[in-house]
Amino acid sequence: MDTEKSGKLIAAQRKQLNMKQSELAARLNVSDKTVSKWETGRGFPDVSIIEDLCDVLHISAYDLLKGELSESEEKEVFEGGIGLFRKIAEQKKIRSFFLGLLLGMSVLILAFVHLNAPVYMNDPATAVKIEELDNGKLIAIIDQQADGYEISYSELEGESEVFVSAYKTKMGSFKKNREEKIVLLKDKKDIDRIWYYPTSDGDVLIYGKPMSGGVVTLSRLIYNNWIFASAAILILLTIAYFVIKDAYHKVLLLKYGIFPFGSFLASMLLVLFGNFGKIYNAAYYFSAIVLLTIFLYLLILLLYKRKRSLKS
């Protein structure tokens, strides 16, 4: 292909149609300099706009590449090939768009989790105060610096236990007007003990009679088990991948085993290392982890397919 010859054909056809370089550039959504480079042979149109250029100049893509008007029998075959190349280029653009979209959505989800994740206040003396009303009911006064709180009730060895926590969030740091939160609990006679969690020494008793051994909140343990279980499964799947010799089953194992479990593990680790302090209410993170896993999985899958298409 002679770019100078092709450039002269572009210039000749443009002038024959009484069209300025700026007009041709505007119709193709390119700059005047780009058209000038084509016409002087210092550049050549991208495959994605060859058809549009040829339509505007009333020539064929075959003529453009040959640098002259011709009636060759190869013309029709060549035109079909150019159309195919253009479709491939458009598909690559679509893939690139979705890759960027998935990556952007993953970042947004992770940012949302980071900004709204609870960072538990470690000192129960300042976080929560328990007071008794004249009617015998108990109230929990949550410190004004807290952005939220959690209260749950449970029965332990026939006694009523209440678990209270207060937390901050990065998003909450932007709030200006803060007030204490007053939460009405059950009657005093219906509550044996009130615990504050989490602290560095486990759950702390803030109301009621002490009990031997105390209690420990298990949500973080559940979260840790998710991590260990998915890591163990991922290791087993990776070993199986190297053991299996059949290429077809290797691809299946990658797509439906290693990639999803790897995405799930990566999502949990990204959340865990998000600098929110201790993760105790694992249920809060579950929906965000699932969403992030889906986006990471699709992103990895698209990158994998793109890599394979480039190899082929």
Residue 158: half-sphere exposure toward Cβ, Cα within 13 Å: 0
What pLDDT shows up at residue 281? Answer: 55
pLDDT digits over 73-125, tens only? 455 545 555 555 566 566 667 767 777 787 778 778 777 777 777 778 888 88
What pLDDT shows up at residue 62? Answer: 73
Output the six-digit token pair for 292.
């992030």
What pLDDT shows up at residue 261? Answer: 92
Residues 6 or more apart whose CB falls under 8 angstroms from that of 150 comprise 163, 164, 165, 167, 281
Sign of CA dihedral 284, 288, 291, 294: negative
Angle at 30 between CA 25 and CA 32, to 5 degrees: 55
What pLDDT shows up at residue 287? Answer: 67
What pLDDT shows up at residue 131? Answer: 93
What pLDDT shows up at residue 235? Answer: 94
Beta-sheet strands, E only, within the chain: 119-120, 128-132, 137-142, 148-156, 159-168, 181-187, 193-196, 204-208
Of 178, 179, 190, give the one whose Cα is nearest residue 132: 190
Parallel/antiparallel/unpaired status of strands 137-142 and 159-168: unpaired
Torsion of CA 88, 93, 97, 100, to 10 degrees: 100
Q: Which residue positions in the chain have pLDDT lower than 70? A: 1, 70-92, 95, 200-201, 213-223, 272-285, 287, 309-312
What pLDDT shows up at residue 276? Answer: 42
For the beta sheet containing 128-132, the strands, ordered from the edge strand earlier in sequence to the opposite edge, are 128-132, 137-142, 181-187
What pLDDT shows up at residue 172? Answer: 85
Other C-beta atoms closer than 10 Å to the C-beta of 45 total 21
